[in-house]
């Protein structure tokens, strides 16, 4: 009778709390990866997400607000709040447009929304590295 042997692979976890890594990565693009000592990935994520967001603003993309009662605006707001720091900077400096004026400004809005959603993916990836769910730490 064959006997199967199971070997346990030790899971490497970060010294930093995974929740802190998640929050840091959400607030500042790439900061979560800095905390788990992945500086190249952090730099690539930072450049990609920040460039995408501000290119969206340069295309006069709309900065969505949660307060005007439109469901589609609320969804756009949730997406852009995937990167709260960039949203606050854009809001405070009046970057972007207040309304969609043409096709390019519509693209710009999508750039900013997708940048926020990509930032959420990056923050969750950093958390997965920190708690050992993803290999490579």
Verify binding: residue 59, other proteins, rule CB under 8 A.
Answer: yes
Distance CA 70, CA 78 (A): 12
Verify binding: residue 45, other proteins, rule CB under 8 A.
Answer: yes
Verify binding: residue 85, other proteins, rule CB under 8 A.
Answer: no
> Which range, of 8-16, 67-75, 88-96, 104-112, touches other proteins by CB under 8 A?
104-112
What are the C-alpha distances in Å from 92 to residues 16, 31, 68, 131?
Answer: 32, 22, 18, 35
- A 10 A CB-CB count for 47 gives 12
> Which range, of 2-10, 71-79, 90-98, 113-121, touches other proteins by CB under 8 A?
113-121
Q: Which DSSP helix (H) or strand (E) runs through 39?
A: helix 39-58
DSSP three-state, residue 62: strand
Verify binding: residue 26, other proteins, rule CB under 8 A.
Answer: no
- Number of residues this chain uses to bind other proteins (CB under 8 A): 24
Verify binding: residue 44, other proteins, rule CB under 8 A.
Answer: yes
* Closest CB 107 distance from other proteins, rounded Å: 5
């Amino acid at each position: 009778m064959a006997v199967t042997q199971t070997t346990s692979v030790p899971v490497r976890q970060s010294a930093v709390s995974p929740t802190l890594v998640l929050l840091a990565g959400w607030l500042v693009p790439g900061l979560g990866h800095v905390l788990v000592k992945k500086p190249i990935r952090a730099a690539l994520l930072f450049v990609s997400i920040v460039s995408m967001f501000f290119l969206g603003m340069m295309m006069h993309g709309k900065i969505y607000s949660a307060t005007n009662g439109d469901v589609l605006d609320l969804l756009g707001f949730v997406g852009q709040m995937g990167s709260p720091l960039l949203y606050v900077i854009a809001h405070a400096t009046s970057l972007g447009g207040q309304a969609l004026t043409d096709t390019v400004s519509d693209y710009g809005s999508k750039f900013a929304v997708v940048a926020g959603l990509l930032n959420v993916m990056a923050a969750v990836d950093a958390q997965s590295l920190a708690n050992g769910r993803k290999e490579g730490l």
